[in-house]
């Protein structure tokens, strides 16, 4: 029986096949992006593929180094040929919510520089409307967390400060900031308007709504196949 992990692996292998010699590749974060990074490492080792990766988090940087992918910093490049990442939700427009791994800000920077930005998911991540299954992560300056929480509650969200596991206190992002998780039930009514409100709220660095950024979605299915959707 094919598992969710098998579906993620199939999607990762599929996107790794699109990478060509000389490309600069944005390396995503999380359990869906990791198989793609490992497959790229195999191609570098076994096929002599020459690429340069730019990671979206410390975790993806560590994995890329482990599998032998050469890396560069964003200060060294002007654009990214292809980037891939997982997502928490994908709607029919290929807009997504990301950020369960608390890396959404760096992921969005990399996505914005990519000529082609590919989302890798299994079927469980497909939704009719964003926010139907997962909360929206919002990265905030710690001293502003309570005013922002109250503002979100005024917009109808249930909001919680994301707490660390196996540690005391909140999750701390790679930028040293905190994450508020906002549940809008039954879903986010107007993602574009919410995007504007959040980005004009003092104390918000960024959030997990990725609107108009993804060009493709690879959906790993239970039977081991991969469905390719394009914007």
For helices 4-16 and 33-47, the axis angle rounded to 10 degrees is: 50
Neighbours of 71 (CB within 10 A): 15
What is the edge-to-edge ordering of all strands in the sheet holding 226-230?
52-55, 24-27, 80-85, 114-122, 216-220, 226-230
State both tokens at 106. 């760096």
Is 153 in the active site? no
- Determine which one of 14, 89, 107, 139 is catalytic: 107
> Catalytic positions, please?
107
């Amino acid at each position: 029986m094919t598992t969710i992990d098998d579906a993620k692996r199939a999607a990762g292998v599929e996107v790794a096949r699109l990478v060509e010699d000389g490309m600069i590749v944005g390396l995503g974060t999380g359990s869906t992006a990791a198989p793609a990074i490992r497959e790229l490492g195999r191609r570098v080792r076994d096929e002599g593929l020459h690429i340069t990766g730019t990671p979206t988090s410390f975790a993806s940087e560590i994995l890329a180094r482990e599998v032998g992918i050469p890396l560069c910093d964003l200060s060294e490049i002007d654009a990214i040929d292809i980037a891939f990442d997982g997502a928490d939700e994908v709607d029919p427009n290929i807009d997504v919510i990301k950020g369960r791994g608390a890396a959404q800000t760096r992921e969005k920077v990399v996505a914005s520089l990519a000529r082609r930005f590919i989302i890798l998911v299994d079927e469980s991540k497909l939704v009719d409307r964003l926010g139907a299954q997962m909360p929206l992560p919002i990265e905030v300056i710690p001293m502003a967390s309570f005013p922002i929480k109250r503002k979100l509650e005024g917009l109808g969200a249930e909001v919680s400060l994301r707490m660390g596991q196996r540690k005391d206190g909140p999750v701390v992002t790679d930028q040293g900031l905190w994450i508020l998780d906002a549940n809008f039930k039954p879903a986010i009514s107007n993602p574009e308007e919410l995007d504007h409100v959040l980005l004009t709220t003092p104390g918000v660095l960024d959030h997990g709504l990725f609107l108009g950024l993804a060009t493709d979605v690879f959906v790993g299915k239970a039977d081991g196949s991969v469905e390719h959707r394009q914007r």
